[in-house]
Structure 1
């Protein structure tokens, strides 16, 4: 008997977590954080919907926080099984989880100080750095693309390059059922084709059931070429106005891709050779170093750069700012700087301080180059900038900050496959059953309407399906 239950990213984009049960074997696929508004804190702290100590294995598709961010909590609550991931995912997850734990502890300390002033008691962090380190101890076998990993008698998992971020995977689990070999595929997050650096997604062999993401299931991306030119134009316009450019940046893949394009823009003359770029994210800096360790994950063009001794992430005007003091010093720059800082959805990190010092300046700009989930500060800034009937503003650090800066949203940089790419991937597998996850309900429903010849399911949170 096989059963699949859903404990995250169900009719929503974040918190991916699926439980596969096969004749007593319990395998978790991903265990990510929910991200968004304040109510998300309660959702992350809630019970998982299963007993962590009963989970035998965890298969991790990739190291984005919404896919791995609750693993330390899983361990804190009793999980002692093996975590299997690709080598690159393993390295990136260590950076991501330790950073997340540090932020959890900092937030808990701030809340404790506030509660003490009010004579109240505050909750502790969701998990701490010790929990993250304990989680890393459970990372066991390394999965190499297209090489099966035995999970139990008659059950194996094969990881395929998903082309989303470094080390990202789709996972095909094979098993015996009624004397027949069957398979279920978990797409993970699928990348977009023809991107710089990373290889295009590899499509796994056919399977009876597919669990797939639908982040952009209702629309296609703007072509990359025009998006790059729009990106260069936004920077040049801001430099001409004498302002700063703030780019809320996801530490994994997006930061490295932007460095890649900034280097190309400077070398081609599309951007000023004197352009000063600050990568103000310790996690993104560490991730960039990890990217350098895994050129085997790159496409032919990026590998050719390395072969010629060219670092695709470095140019004369780039600065890596790890220390807090250096980050604070950037807020004294009146203009002329491009500041890339996390987090991409502005839910935390250093970018919130840079926004506080630049959002109100008419000469400055904010460039969003990634998905902004509902309830996040990024989405509120984007939505407020479109309000024409009143003065736009957002709440930040307890203050109402006017949104006077020029707001750009450039969607062509997405690391996710768009609707046509999702359809092509799905069509190559031809599953009998398709289970849609990891998407806003509107996008998911629109994508469901495009699927034919397959039974489509859109499970609710906590729903269980016998397969």
Structure 2
């Protein structure tokens, strides 16, 4: 029986995780994630599937993050009706996350269509709606960690705790092919050794093929225990509050927000941080926090005396738009936590518009910022920036604290892989940018005879896993999409949308600095000549 792997996401980029595993004449998906980052990458979510969703027999999800699960409603909308396997924690999170994602699609498309109509452009449809997302939830089937279950005849699976977020898993598969059993492992996102609310990652040894994430390849981080992590957070919070402004923290609604709340409530209870209002301005984060509260007895880093770390007089959870707008009246002395973690959508953009121009404000970036996102631009020191079409001067202090990352760093990724050895047939490095993958590949090559053969797949390539090493199939590829891969390469830096926004800012600055109207007209005439539109 043939065994082929198609890589339809997280190749050349850190988002859009999606793998299609063919076993004979049947196929399953491992992950069904949304592309996130710059506008070029996000546009890929509107593309037609590079396979027929109606011919997929089952879906297995590593975890609930949108870049691993966010296109599930699009898949079911296109005709998929089979089971979607995930851990109980992932299922509970998705019951809130997928409808929320559908609501975001509807809202963003509605706003875009209003602009398009004013410009005389055509309207667009959302990738999926809230109703589409609700319908997809009916297919979710929870499966516990460390328990084998049959996916298809000749294919069984087992979830291992990946230590990344609540419910996150690495997926072990055993496939019968040609009279032998091949053992595969999809790492999902691997958590670090010291995680505020999760145990350390686990996975099996002695595998044939491993598909491994590489997000933080080449990037080691300081190794801090729980006390060290809280001390580092306290130092940032106290410095920000001493400046007199607000502390704005862009944070993913899942796990990152809950980790911050657990540490902040403890620091305030101990007097290490002044008690100030903490606004969690995200309806999704509020719902997800309630899910986390139900799982606290299974999580790491929360002592028996701290079973309610998400409650307290200083915490304020906002749901309505009116409650969110009231926060804008607070000009200093508050901590504002809102999604998204890369500042690309949600209420965080409103809070950034309200605080970035204030010299006494602080923005604390606490996670990975994909290239081209607003978070990455702030991290790089871009000034001014454009938010929702408006130019905003950056006078606030921009700080970075990576100790809350949900991903293993370079050294931890290598340690995780060493514990999987031997990897007999090959290692596929995915879910990483080019420099991260190159750093890991170089380090692994230094292992000598122990080193597995490393392959770096491109988007929509298929590999024969029955070969001695994963072999690229030159013929019979289901769909060659070089255009999709060319678009994905935008992850290496800004896409044209970023370049356009930067150009508009530079034009505005030059016009303001010009000493007279005739000088401004001369500048505009030069631009017209470049564009071939001189009047």
Report the TM range for the smaller structure's normalisation.
over 0.9
- Equivalence for 2:165: 165
Shift of 1:166: 0.2
* Counterpart position of 1:174: 174
Q: Structure 1 CA distance, aligned partners of 2:338 and 2:293?
A: 20
Q: d(CA) in 2 for partners of 1:150 and 1:126?
A: 31
1:106 aligns to what?
Answer: 107
Per-residue Cα deviation, 1:221-250 (whole angstroms, up to 9, x for no partner)? 122355533322222122122100100011
Deviation at 1:204, TM superposition (A): 2.1
Q: Relative to structure 1, is the Cα distance of residues 296 and 311 closer, same or farther in structure 2, using a 3 angstrom cutoff?
A: closer
1:35-56, CA deviations, whole angstroms, 9 ceiling, x for partnerless residues? 1111123211112211111111
Partner in structure 2 of residue 314 of structure 1:
311
Q: Deviations over 1:66-122 (max 9, x none)?
A: 001111111111211110001110111121111111011011111121122223221
In structure 2, runs of 5+ residues without a counterpart are: 466-535
Q: Any idea what SS the aligned residue of 1:294 has?
A: helix
Spell out, residue by residue over 1:361-390, the C-alpha distance to the aligned partner (whole angstroms, 9 max, x if none): 0000000000000011101111125xxxxx
Q: Deviations over 1:408-459 (max 9, x none)?
A: 0111211101111111111111112100000111101110111142110000
Q: 1:352 aligns with which of 340, 349, 354?
A: 349
Judged with a 3 Å threshold, the aligned counterparts in structure 2 of structure 1 residues 220 and 309 are, in CA distance, closer, same or farther, namely: closer
For residues 377 and 440 of structure 1, the distance between their equivalents in structure 2, rounded to whole angstroms, comes to 18
CA separation of 1:465 and 1:296: change in aligned 2, threshold 3 A: farther
SS in 2 for 1:208: strand
Structure 1 CA distance, aligned partners of 2:349 and 2:229?
Answer: 25
Cα offset, 1:293, TM superposition: 1.7
Query: Is 1:440 the counterpart of 2:433 in the alignment?
Result: yes
Q: Check whether the contact 2:26–2:55 (CA below 8 A) recurs between aligned residues.
A: no
SS at structure 2 position matched to 1:231: helix
Q: Name the counterpart of 1:455.
A: 453
Structure 1 Cα separation of the partners of residues 149 and 394 of structure 2: 51
Tell me which residue corresponds to 1:421: 412
The alpha-carbon deviation at position 344 of structure 1 amounts to 0.3
TM superposition shift of 1:296: 5.0
Residue of 373, 377, 394 corresponding to 2:374: 377
Q: How far, CA to CA, are the matches of 1:149 and 1:221 in structure 2?
A: 37
Contact 1:224/1:413 (<8 A) preserved? no
In the alignment, the residues of structure 2 paired with residue 125 and residue 181 of structure 1 have an alpha-carbon distance, to the nearest angstrom, of 42
Structure 2 residue aligned with 1:282: 283
Is residue 94 of structure 1 aligned with residue 95 of structure 2? yes
Query: What CA distance in whole angstroms lies between the structure 1 residues aligned with 2:420 and 2:354?
Result: 49
Indicate the residue corresponding to 2:211 in structure 1: 211
1:121 aligns with 2:119: no
**Secondary structure in 2 matching 1:159:** strand
Q: Which moved more, 1:310-319 or 1:206-215?
A: 310-319
1:253 aligns with 2:277: no
- State the TM-score, normalized to the length of structure 2: 0.83
Looking at CA atoms only, which structure, 1 or 2, has the larger radius of gyration? Answer: 2
Take 1:194 and 1:179, find their aligned partners in 2: how far apart are those partners? 42
**Contact residue 384 and residue 394 of structure 1 kept, 8 A:** no
* Other structure's SS at 2:291 match: helix
Question: Relative to structure 2, which stretch is displaced further, 449-458 or 81-90?
Answer: 449-458
SS at match of 1:429: coil
**Which consecutive unaligned segments of at least 5 residues does structure 1 have?**
386-391
- The SS at the match of 2:285 is helix
Separation of aligned partners in 2, 1:380 and 1:224: 27
Q: CA deviation at 1:200?
A: 0.9
Partner of residue 403 from structure 2, selected from 407, 412, 424: 412
Q: Give the TM-score of the pair, scaled to structure 1.
A: 0.95
Aligned residues: 455
**2-side partners of 1:153 and 1:14: how far apart?**
31
RMSD of Structure 2 on Structure 1 (CA): 1.4
Q: Following the alignment from structure 1 to structure 2, what is the Cα–Cα distance between the partners of residues 297 and 421?
A: 23
> Secondary structure, in 3 states, of the residue corresponding to 2:67?
helix
